[in-house]
Structure 1
């Protein structure tokens, strides 16, 4: 049998199909729970991001004092301090942080959508270029819709994205597990 990933034979992977299905069901159920309470899911996602920022900030601060030269130390220390402050902000005021993250998300979607549309138009003679343009337009529109509803929608948008991701990942794992069952 051929290797699927990291040298694991297909037969070994097939023997683990139930684990993939189990993980998929767990992720799918978590997605449904998040969908049931989008505000709580938003707060949980903000706390997760805050925890990552705190951890990253501490790493930056430790790294700052491993670097030679005060100009470099100052840069890394300030970067670390900003990360730590942003992480603390997520825990102190998750609603304000969710508003900032939602605004950032909307801007990122608009920029990505405009860029994707531009790339699709540049590919115009190639077959299928219209799909890329359509994808860019939908992405930019999603960003505009989120921006238009800001800051009120910041109470549920991040939770909706988390719920959708968990449901899609769960469905994918279930389908993969059942597909490799043999």
Structure 2
């Protein structure tokens, strides 16, 4: 099996393999730091979500005064105000916000898992349907376990997700960079 990069000797990505490797090492280090202090990683992720909500709220508020009809202005302004308030809440009380986000995460995983299980069961005549059903069971089980431990686990769940994501992305970039080099 030949690589696309092997067919293109002058590929601009191939010459940048050290950047991918460096980024991977940096992401891996950040993931390990986050893993060593899950509470701080949770607070950092809550602050990140808070910044996004503040920015989104301001954009909604600006947009509210760009529409013509009063009922639309009211809808967009209220939506923007709610986003801004949620963003401020993330900075004022990150522990409460992490509890709310963890509960939303548990519910989302439960719903996604049940839906994926349903899709897998509907695909039963096809080969490989068990993989989809199994992934649905695992996702729903993860949501159920998170919901069982809520609100105590909200102090570390978001940080754990952030740490694991950083570690996986780090290994991915390292592997990609080394793959470009060869």
* TM category, shorter: over 0.9
Q: CA deviation at 1:31?
A: 0.2
Look up the match of 1:180. Answer: 180
Listed one character per residue, the Cα deviations across residues 51-73 of structure 1 (whole Å, up to 9, x for unaligned) are 00000000000110011011010
The residue correspondences of 1:17-166 to structure 2 (distance < 5 A) are 17-166=17-166
Distance in 1, matches of 2:80 and 2:11, equals 47
Name stretches of at least 5 consecutive residues in structure 2 with no aligned partner: none
Q: Structure 1's 121 and 65: CA in aligned 2 closer, same or farther, altered over 3 A?
A: same
Q: Indicate conservation of the 8 Å contact 1:3/1:9, yes or no.
A: no
Offset of residue 128 of structure 1: 0.7
Q: CA deviation at 1:11?
A: 2.0
- The equivalent residue for 1:11 is 11
Give the length in aligned residue pairs: 178
Q: Cα distance, 1:88 vs. partner?
A: 0.2
- RMSD across aligned positions (CA): 1.5
Q: State the 4+ residue runs in structure 1 displaced beyond 3 angstroms.
A: none
User: Deviation of residue 114 (structure 1)?
Assistant: 0.2
Task: Give the 3 Å change call, closer, same or farther, for CA 10–114 of structure 1 in structure 2.
Answer: farther
- The structural deviation recorded for 1:9 is 7.9
Q: Which runs of 5+ in 1 are unaligned?
A: none
